[in-house]
Chain A
Amino acid sequence: MTLYRYIARRVLLLFPMLVGITLLSFLLSHAVPADPVAANLGDQAAADPTIVAAFRHHWGLDQPLYRQYLIYLWNLVHGNMGISISTRQPVLLDLRQHLPATIEIAVAAMLLSLVTGIPLGMLAAVNRERPIDQAARVASLVGVSTPVFWLGLVAIVVFYAHLGWAPAPGRLSPTITPPPFVTGFVLVDAMLSRRWDAAADWLGHLVLPAVVLSSYSLGIVTRMMRGSMLEVLGEDYVRTARAKGVTRWAVVVRHAARNALIPIITIVGLSFGGLLSGAVVTETVFSWPGLGLYAFSSATSLDFPAIMGSGIIVAGVYVLVNLVVDVAYAFFDPRIRVA
């Protein structure tokens, strides 16, 4: 199968997957006994049957379930995810405001874990079963075993409350006016409007949450890189290169690491889900106004349109990231396309 046909097949498979995601998030947020009336109306209003009926009718809660889903799907195709019950804004607008913040910390955390995890994994593989390897193993296990919300609080206590090195939790200091909203990414918007003060302030706020969030993926990247390196180092071509007289480090870096990196691409996609999960708690600890914080507040107030919107976006992003990852993998490793 050629690369193009592989990509076409994967993209086509994406559509049923996305429809499935909408169905599942719809069912998840409806097949539960919770009552949005109690969560969103005050005690007095909830006691008045006419207000309750009006509320149910207004949000389509008096229709049969399948009708509600079809209406939802029809609106979704037209770019309408409904109106959030608690913020009274279109859900799509809410998501557009919150998603970039989550992408910021998820990407920053992923980059951090790749930059440190790949060399660490290589070092561990080359020094297999020696102290460096054991230390890398323990370090990566500590990373996946640490509760991120706890690490975040400890980081705030140490670096903000005691040392004063980090700014207060949040995405920008209250003294900084945010750059005009264009893309929603502070860095891009700040550069577009030449607001270097905002960019620098944002970067200062980003460091702690990104480092804390990366603790989880760092462990996974390190372990995978180690395993992948060990497999490649056992290959014949590596031995041949050594026999030709290529130095040890040149073999490790130029011959082995290049091929060992390919499986790491998949890990980027797979651990992205974990990063999104971690983002929910990290964002609540650091008051980072992202999708996690939004999903959390809409889940606790039983704001169905907002819950469904967040679920669809998060799962959609995850599926898309994995599509890109699989295509990249097929591009770098032609053997995959055949399978």
Chain B
Amino acid sequence: MDAAITTPEAAAVPRPVRRRRLLPRQLSGSPLALAALAVVAGWIAVAVLAPSLAPYRPLAQSIAGRLQPPGPAHWLGTDPLGRDILSRILYGARLSIPVGVIAVALAVVLGTIIGGTAGFLGGAADEAIMRGTDLMLAFPTVILALVITAALGAGIRNAIIAIMVAWWPSYARLVRGLVLALRDREYVQAARAVGGSRLRIFLRHVLPGTISPVVILSTLDVGHAILTFASLSFLGLGPPPQIPEWGSMIAAGRNYLDQWWISTFPGVAILTLVLAMNVLGDGLRDLLDPRFRSR
């Protein structure tokens, strides 16, 4: 063990060879993780197949069929405009999953550029960039996202921008920590010894090493991003109300407390998907963090 492996960031740097063998075997040994994997795969399938699975069109309104309780015609009931809740939940997956993935991916790219630059430049520039990042972290995510979406206007694209702006600082921190940990590894010293330029060493040897832990850790955040998107949408800062989205579907039930099904089922959809993603993420995180690995 070299001296660099004392920070948590350094501990998260996986050994490429071991990791590839370790992850699937340990995960496949856990029935909980397998169940979670099945749920996530199921939701992805729902998102892809929604048009053929949904019994009704998600936008089809029916004044006569409004506020129907769950029954044989509408398994999960209908909303105040008579739209089928099951169909809207199925279509909702088509929106929430891509939004979560895109928001996290953008935050990772931005965080990698900023954190990587800080780690590469070092010194005063590093200090300045990282203090700026700390400042961003002092603003609670939803408050930050709230201000941004409110100012840019409600909508899917602006909600994604808001999540990206609120989240990049944690990835910047992570990438910078990894860069600092990798910079002193033997293979980087070797590259330096054979005369590689600083920039070339950074781009060819250091930065690629950060990619796999960052990608792994960020996939775990997709569930969290889906939850944040639903919160913004619940507050009325997401897509327009006719678009089937889980958070705004829950909000639609706020004034219909006796019609419990309007809010309950979209919430169950969010909970199952996000929980499954978090169970998977939790297992992966334990594997990456040697402190919690079974000895």
Contact = CB atoms under 8 A, between A and B. Distances in A.
A238 interface: no
Interface stretch (B83-91, B149-157, B172-180, B208-216): B149-157
Contacts of B131: 16, 20
A311 interface: yes
B274 to A, nearest CB: 4
A20 B130 CA distance: 13
B146 A280 contact: yes
Interface stretch (A78-86, A154-162, A184-192, A249-257): A154-162
B73 to A, nearest CB: 23
A129 B135 CA distance: 39
Contacts of B230: 147
Interface in B164-183: none
A319 interface: yes
A64 B96 CA distance: 40
B236 A311 contact: no
Interface in A270-284: 273-274, 276-278, 280-281, 284
Nearest to B227: A147
B135 A17 contact: yes
B138 A17 contact: yes
Interface in B278-295: 278-279, 282, 291-292, 294
A37 interface: no
Contacts of A296: 146, 235
Contacts of B151: 28-29, 32-34, 299, 302
Contacts of A157: 257, 260, 263-264
Contacts, number: 149
A145 B227 contact: yes
Interface string A108-152: 000000000000000000000100001001100110111111110
Interface in B128-157: 131-132, 134-144, 146-148, 150-153
Main secondary structure of the interface of A (DSSP, over half): helix
Contacts of A315: 138-140
A145 B257 contact: no
Contact of A307 (B147, B152, B231, B267): B147
B2 interface: no
B267 A150 contact: yes
A55 interface: no
B250 A147 contact: yes
Contacts of B271: 142, 145-147, 150
What are the 8 tightest A-B residue pairs by CB atom distance, in nearest-first order?
A: A150-B267, A299-B150, A32-B151, A277-B142, A145-B275, A277-B140, A145-B274, A161-B257
